[in-house]
Amino acid sequence: MVCHHGAGSSARSFALLAKQVAAFSNADCGVLAFDARGHGKTTSTEPEDLSIERLTSDLVNLLSTVFADPAAAPTLLLVGHSLGGAVIVRACPLLQERNYKIAGVAVLDVVEEFTLDALPMMHTLLATRPQGFDSPEHAIQWHVKTNAIRNPDSARVSVPAIIVPNPVPTQQPPYLWRTPLHSTAPYWTSWFTGLSEKFLSARTARLLVLAGAERLDKQLMIGQMQGKFQLVVLAGVGHMVHEDDPASLAETLVEFWRRNERVVVGVKKVGDL
């Protein structure tokens, strides 16, 4: 499984999920998660560019480097949370053009129409976040108390990766956000525009995992009725579905992977007509 995190997050948000995937798959399936540019420990000498085209190119180039020979590469299941979902559905056909075997695409808690409608409220929501924190412990506590992450075990692993020491030690607060989401605003609309169409047109099995209630746009509702993808709604989780309930999501992903990684001749993949 190749996991791409959402905006402002990091590869460590998949840490507990990876542990559960290993357990449910009996270690048959590996997990590759990475920090996108501008996130986590990834640094770049180039000007910051978080366009969807650049992020997609980064993923394709990374996999082409890690698995230099497509013929010898394992079958890949692309998993993307929020922004990561937009990246993986764009990367899928590009990887297939290079002859990589793609078992499926799994998009976690992002729907084009719902997300685009919510974007105008994002500045208000971000304004309610603290500018920074006194310590990593305070950052973890804030995420858990506000239900930004509902799983304290995951928060302890993932939150330290999304904050950095203040570059000016004499200034407050001592820890700042690694990726200031306000600065990514110019990219928001382009990230998610066309997501539903690209998801439904992916030439592989398709899985959409949502948090709580179903929030499908018209294209996805029609696609679901036509059996073009598998829909799973997890209960008791927030937007960070992979952190809030890694066990349930891992079970879903491993079942999806097993069903589509070793397809018996004559048996259709999920989403095939």
Q: How far apart are the first and last CA of the chain?
A: 24
The pLDDT of residue 267 is 42
Annotation marks residue 109 as catalytic: yes
Residue 98 counted as domain residue: yes
Q: Which residue range(s) make up the domain with 139?
A: 2-261
With contact defined as beta carbons under 8 Å apart, do 160 and 136 qualify? yes
Integer Cα distance of 201 and 109 in angstroms: 18
Residue 273 counted as domain residue: no
Closest by CA position to 40, among listed 76, 3, 95: 3
The pTM of the full predicted model, rounded to 2 decimals, is 0.93
With contact defined as beta carbons under 8 Å apart, do 105 and 207 qualify? yes
Helix, strand, or coil (residue 1): coil
Q: Out of 109, 143, 242, 248, which one is annotated catalytic?
A: 109
Residue 270 counted as domain residue: no
The CATH number of the domain holding residue 14 is 3.40.50.1820
Residue 143 counted as domain residue: yes
Annotation marks residue 242 as catalytic: no
Q: Out of 4, 5, 81, 239, which one is annotated catalytic?
A: 239
Please give the average pLDDT of every successive group of 10 residues along the chain, which has 273 residues: 98 98 94 97 88 98 97 95 98 97 97 93 92 98 98 98 95 95 94 97 97 82 94 95 98 96 51 55
Q: Out of 82, 154, 158, 196, which one is annotated catalytic?
A: 82
Number of domains comprising the chain: 1
Pinpoint the alpha helices (H) of the chain. Answer: 15-24, 52-66, 83-97, 112-118, 122-127, 136-145, 152-158, 188-192, 195-201, 218-225, 241-244, 246-261
Dihedral sign from CA coordinates of 9, 45, 90, 100: negative
With contact defined as beta carbons under 8 Å apart, do 164 and 178 qualify? yes
The pLDDT of residue 64 is 98
The pLDDT of residue 111 is 94
Burial grade of 74 (CB within 10 A; 0-12, 13-18, 19 or more): middle
Residue 272 counted as domain residue: no
Annotation marks residue 51 as catalytic: no
